Amino acid sequence: MSALGNYFFDWNQTRTYHSTWPPRAKFHKAQTISKDTAVGVAGLCTLWGRRSPRTQECLQVSAAAASFY
């Protein structure tokens, strides 16, 4: 949900494309959406990575993505 939810709820005329929002606010909103996507993908990697021998790598990627957020 975190990987796709922001695109559905925030990438529209009321948030990212709102005409009265200053450019800096739009930048930070887009940055937050990108971070949420990275954390969601890393979470899926960790979830599915348990079946592979690369579990430790996936956990490190997930921790790194979460630390950026």
Domain parsing of the chain, residue ranges? 41-69
Which residue in 13, 65, 24, 29 sits closest to 57, CA to CA?
65
> pLDDT digit string (tens) for 3-61?
777 777 777 777 777 788 888 888 888 888 888 888 887 777 777 766 666 667 777 77
What pLDDT, on the 0 to 100 scale, is given for residue 6? 76
Across the chain, the runs of DSSP E, i.e. the strands, are: none
Asked if 3 and 33 count as a contact pair (C-beta separation under 8 A), the reply is no
Q: Is the pTM of this model over 0.85?
A: no
